[in-house]
Amino acid sequence: MSSVKKVALITGANRGIGLETARQLGRQGITVLLGARDLAKGEAAAASLKKDSIDARAIKLDVNAPADYVAAAKLIEKDFGRLDILVNNAGILVDARKGNETSTTSAEILRRTFDTNFFAVVALTQTLLPLIRKSEAGRIVNLSSILASNTLHATKGSPIYDAKHLAYDASKTALNSFTIHLAHELRDTKIKVNSADPGWVKTDMGGEGAQLEIEEGGKTSVQLATLPDDGPTGGYFHLGKSQPW
Ligand SMILES: NC(=O)c1ccc[n+]([C@@H]2O[C@H](COP(=O)([O-])OP(=O)(O)OC[C@H]3O[C@@H](n4cnc5c(N)ncnc54)[C@H](OP(=O)(O)O)[C@@H]3O)[C@@H](O)[C@H]2O)c1
């Protein structure tokens, strides 16, 4: 491995697990590009990391705006010539409110959730893949969830048996399929593709009642973003432990 600084793009990095992931990667000496749909919020987040001597830059990136992907790819190509790490972190949970039972979840909620949590991840990754192929050791991390696990959803007594949100859960299950399929296509390259279950984390999405502090919540993404050359690909992990699909 050369001594050239690695460069990572994290989507949805202006707050929550994305910002923490950027912080932890930055502390390892990696240049972190903070994707944010509101550039001002991204710049404020980057400024907070720079105080910690992290090489952080904000990039305007709404994952539902294909024009932003093209602009981001051009900028990364021009400034770095490659992308070493892509963390597909941006995500939404809009069907956790009471009244969104499986039998009444609307097509609008399903489509909105899949747009951000699945279709955007596939399209952004496809756009950036040529730059990731130029890395000596590309790493792609897809932010999944324990709620993606069909095995646990179907198992009475599992920790998520009674936590059903059709749109969110199914979007993350589909994301896990993307991980498996892309890892298979890239199996003879140096690129590793994995799904991260960060745990239940205290963020705006996870809420105050969540089990993990934000530092712990960033660790799974960071581990998968910095896997060694003999590390796994096509897996689904929480803090180094495989999760059931
Ligand atoms: N927290 C948990 O317990 C937990 C558990 C399992 C999995 N996850 C997953 O981990 C990831 C991060 O979650 P979090 O808890 O940090 O969530 P969060 O606190 O709600 O933050 C979500 C981030 O995603 C960004 N985002 C949403 N839609 C976007 C879009 N269209 N384009 C660009 N950015 C967008 C938000 O930007 P704005 O500030 O502009 O809204 C924000 O930066 C998500 O994929 C989530 O599903 C979280």
CA distances from 67 to 33, 37, 42, 89, 235 (A): 17, 12, 18, 19, 30
Q: Is the CB of 168 under 6 A from ligand 1?
A: no
Q: Is the CB of 63 under 6 A from ligand 1?
A: yes
Predicted confidence (pLDDT) per residue in 145-196, tens digit: 999 999 999 999 999 999 999 999 999 999 999 999 999 999 999 999 999 9
Q: In 3D, which of 208, 105, 119 has the Cα closest to residue 165? A: 105
Q: In 3D, which of 173, 127, 147 has the Cα closest to residue 35? A: 127
Question: Could you tell me the domains of the chain?
Answer: 7-242 (3.40.50.720)
Kindly give the number of the ligand 1 atom that is closest to the alpha carbon of 202. 1
Predicted confidence (pLDDT) per residue in 200-238, tens digit: 999 999 999 999 999 999 999 999 999 999 999 999 999
Q: Is the CB of 112 under 6 A from ligand 1?
A: no
Q: In 3D, which of 7, 14, 116, 120 has the Cα closest to residue 58? A: 14
Q: Distance between CA 202 and CA 114 in Å, rounded?
A: 23
- The per-residue pLDDT for 111 is 98
In the numeric block, which tokens belong to residue 234? 């096509």
The pTM of this model reads: 0.98
With residues binned 3-state (H G I as helix, E B as strand, rest as coil), the percentages for the chain, rounded to 5, are: 45, 15, 40
Q: Is the CB of 89 under 6 A from ligand 1?
A: yes
Q: In 3D, which of 195, 63, 38, 196 has the Cα closest to residue 123? A: 63
Distance 102 CA to ligand 1 centre (A): 22
Among this protein's residues, is 168 annotated catalytic? yes
Pocket test for ligand 1, best of 39, 197, 203 (most atoms within 8 A of CB): 203
- Smallest CA separation from ligand 1 atom 33, residue: 62
- The per-residue pLDDT for 1 is 44
Per-residue confidence band for 43, with pLDDT thresholds at 50, 70 and 90: very high
Predicted confidence (pLDDT) per residue in 82-101, tens digit: 999 999 999 999 987 777 79
